[in-house]
Amino acid sequence: MLKAFYEHVKGKGLPFEIIFVSSDKSEAEAASYFQNDHGDWLILDLGQKDALSQKYGIKGIPSLIVIDSAGKPVAPDARDHVGGSGGKPEAMEKAFADWQKLCSDWRGTAGASVGGAPQAQDAAAMRAARLARLGGGPPVSTPAPAPAPEPAAAPAAAPAPAAEPNAAEIDNLVALGFTREQVKNALDATKGDVDAAANLLLS
């Protein structure tokens, strides 16, 4: 049922990934079970299961927990949501839409352009950063902070300054693997534009 749910949501082009954490006793058992019974998703090393089980308070298996981009659980009973969809496309899409609202991930509604230029989203870098944040995958190298641009003479009619980023938006950038200092430099360089700062950090 989870595999059908995953394939339907991914088939709609929606931003959804599953990270499987095995409870098997050996890597060979975990790999066999994963290859034979699971969908086209991710798997963590077996050695990480105890730390994650403790972190997310796993009491029984199987468990399905939806986490946001900072690794915070927002739907610890997601297994019930998948089961309750009954394999119906509309119900699966509604369950996923509810998860998106709980995650409040600003990347889910990113615009098509930043400052008039096409927006470059490096999905591979974002995925690697999120996996590294969870303790899986290779470590993500941290780019050097961008230097602040030289101040330019203000035009006669300066545009209104961008709204100050809120704490959740800053935490989302930090969760991608950057330091608060790097995030601050990127926000300063982009005059507080969170989307532009994210692209600057990921470039």
Q: The tokens 């399905």 sit on which residue?
A: 64
Structure tokens at 185: 């430099």
Mean pLDDT for all residues in the chain:
76
- Indicate if the pLDDT at residue 154 is higher than 60: no
Task: Indicate where the chain has its CATH 3.40.30.10 domain(s).
Answer: 2-105
Task: Give pLDDT, residue 199.
Answer: 74
199 or 32, higher pLDDT = 32
Pairing verdict, β 113-114 and 73-75:
unpaired
Q: Is the dihedral of CA 176, 15, 74, 114 positive or negative?
A: positive
Identify the band that residue 141 occupies on the pLDDT scale cut at 50, 70 and 90: low
The mean pLDDT of 85-94, rounded to a whole number, is 92
Model confidence at 83: pLDDT above 60: yes
- pLDDT value of position 120: 45
Q: What fold, for 2-105? A: Glutaredoxin (3.40.30)
pLDDT by residue (tens digit) across 18-60? Answer: 888 888 788 888 888 888 878 888 888 878 888 888 888 888 8
pLDDT of residue 63: 87
Give the residue among 57, 66, 53, 67 at the shortest CA–CA distance from 5: 66
Number of residues in the chain: 203
Q: Strand pairing of 113-114 and 19-20?
A: unpaired
Q: Can you give the pLDDT at residue 96?
A: 92
User: What pLDDT, in 10s, does the model give residues 97-120?
Assistant: 999 888 875 454 554 444 444 444
